[in-house]
Amino acid sequence: MIEFYFHPAPNPAKVALMLEETGLEYELRPVDTKKGEQHFNAFLKVNPNGKVPAIVDRAGPDGKEARVFDSSAILLYLAEKTGMFLGAATDRPELLSWLFFISSGVGPFSGQSVHFQHAAPEKLPYAINRFRREAERHYRVLDDQFARRQYLIGETYTIADMSAWGWIARAAFVLPGADDPLAPFINLKRWFTEIDARPAAIRARTVGIGYGFKQEMDEVARRALFPSNYPIPQRA
């Protein structure tokens, strides 16, 4: 059994997709990040970085309990555990390259694009332009790849596709202002439409529905989500 620490956001969505694709049995552990539950001591024992997603595998290596945090690490761990969605051994260099491109490029720049366009108290033109343009560049890199291939790793659906899906599903927030933000990226749109229609993706989109996560972006939520914007409390 796997304990899945989840909040409805792009990185946990990737793990939800992988769990649904593999059919691994899991229990959902909702973490309401707008309430600051990611900073609770109980959760910090699972992920010292205080972010979702994270998992605890009660049947880890040698039958011992294992904790894994960071979405890319979790995807790799689950793929190796099940032997699924890794591609061929000869694909491993490219698989790792795309997985890290998403985790170090697509994810953080898309996240900052969302932050400065939707959450920042001031609309700073330089920051908005910087992160939105870089997110668009990443979309173009992916679009060029899908012009030549069905999936990121050729003709094989892998965890790299799952990782990209988690963020491309939020394109309307990353690149707001257009009815169809993927319209300029026809190959990326073709790929996303195919992945998003998979039964596992449809199920993954429903994970956590009905839990009642906090919706208000009030001062409590801002302090919980962006603690580095506030003075660090002095420890006694």
* Burial (CB count <10 Å: 0-12, 13-18, 19+), residue 127: middle
Q: How confident is the model at residue 233, as a pLDDT?
A: 60
Paired tokens of 74: 């979790």
What are the tens digits of pLDDT across the range 68-114? Answer: 999 999 999 999 999 999 999 999 999 999 999 999 999 999 999 99
- The CA distance from 6 to 15, in Å, is 9
Task: Return the closest-CA partner of residue 11 out of 91, 73, 81.
Answer: 73
pLDDT of 127 reads 97
Beta-carbon contacts of residue 111 (< 8 Å; ≥ 6 apart): 10
Going by pLDDT thresholds of 50, 70 and 90, the confidence category of residue 236 is: very low
Q: Using one digit for the tens of pLDDT, what is the confidence trace for 8-28?
A: 999 999 999 999 999 999 999
Residue 142: is its pLDDT beyond 50? yes
- 89-202: same fold as 2-84+206-229? no
CATH of segment(s) 89-202: 1.20.1050.10
| Site of tokens 């039964």 | 199
Any idea where the domains of the chain sit in the sequence?
A: 2-84+206-229, 89-202
Q: Could you please report the per-residue DSSP string of 168-231? A: HTTHHHHSTTSS-TTTT-HHHHHHHHHHHTSHHHHHHTTTTTTS------SHHHHHHH-GGGSP
Amino acid at 3: E
pTM for the model stands at 0.95
pLDDT in tens, 176-222: 999 999 999 999 999 999 999 999 999 999 999 999 999 999 999 99
154 confidence band (pLDDT: 50, 70, 90): confident
Q: Which CATH superfamily is domain 2-84+206-229 in?
A: Glutaredoxin (3.40.30.10)
